[in-house]
């Protein structure tokens, strides 16, 4: 008779599988550049899965492993950079921020997004060496980015609720975690 793996070992193995799937999803976005933001959002939903099912430090581990492997392996570094700076950590912070009053929660979420976007724009400007005239579009990028972020957050909340209420029970995933 085989010994049943410990709960901690099972969580480590599941976190590794989630990370590997995240790298594959980001790789698709790296190759098909039209899907880059879509695949970042999909990979961030895997971090949501880690937050819900694994808890503790495992979501951070999934984010870090997925991000570092993506940075090392993907041909398009922008996808991995955006995932590392925003897509990966956001679901973890979203879970923390939503414990507060909705107004405070939105202030924290928008602050996190705008800080991440500023880091991304700055990194891209210095790494790719974008001329200053091209950076004049920053206000437009921030305005459109905030509007899209609000839609992304609302969609993520709906997907999380759907997973918790219907999908998790239907697939009986709780027994695997």
Res 12 pLDDT > 60:
yes
Res 3 pLDDT > 60:
no
Q: What is the pLDDT of residue 7?
A: 83
pLDDT in tens, 73-84: 999 888 998 999
DSSP code per residue over 68-128: HHHHHH-S-HHHHHHIIIIITTHHHHHHHHTTS-HHHHHHHHHHHHHHHHHHHHHHHHHHH
pLDDT tier for residue 67 given thresholds of 50, 70 and 90: very high
For residue 93, which of 73, 78, 110 has the smallest C-alpha distance?
A: 110
Of the listed ranges 42-46, 137-141, 147-151, 156-160, the least confidently predicted one is 137-141
pTM as predicted: 0.85
pLDDT tier for residue 141 given thresholds of 50, 70 and 90: confident
Q: What is the pLDDT of residue 19?
A: 97
Res 159 pLDDT > 90:
yes
3-state DSSP assignment of residue 62: helix
The answer to whether 61 and 15 are in contact (CB under 8 A) is yes
Of the listed ranges 54-68, 95-109, 121-135, the least confidently predicted one is 121-135
Res 172 pLDDT > 90:
no
Domains assigned to the chain: 7-176 (1.10.1760)
């Amino acid at each position: 008779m085989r010994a049943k793996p410990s709960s901690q070992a099972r969580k480590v193995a599941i976190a590794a599988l989630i990370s590997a799937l995240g790298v594959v999803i980001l790789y698709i976005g790296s190759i098909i550049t039209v899907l880059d933001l879509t695949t970042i959002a999909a990979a961030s939903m895997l971090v949501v899965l880690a937050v819900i099912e694994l808890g503790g430090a495992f979501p951070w581990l999934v984010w870090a492993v997925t991000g570092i492997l993506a940075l090392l392996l993907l041909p398009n570094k922008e996808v991995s950079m955006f995932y590392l700076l925003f897509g990966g950590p956001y679901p973890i912070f979203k879970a923390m921020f939503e414990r507060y009053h909705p107004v405070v929660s939105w202030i924290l979420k928008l602050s996190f997004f705008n800080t991440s976007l500023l880091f991304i724009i700055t990194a891209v400007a210095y790494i790719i060496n974008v001329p200053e005239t091209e950076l004049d579009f920053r206000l437009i990028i921030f305005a459109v980015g905030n509007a899209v972020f609000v839609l992304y957050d609302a969609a993520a909340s709906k997907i999380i609720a759907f997973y918790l209420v219907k999908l998790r029970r239907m697939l009986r995933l709780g027994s695997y975690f």
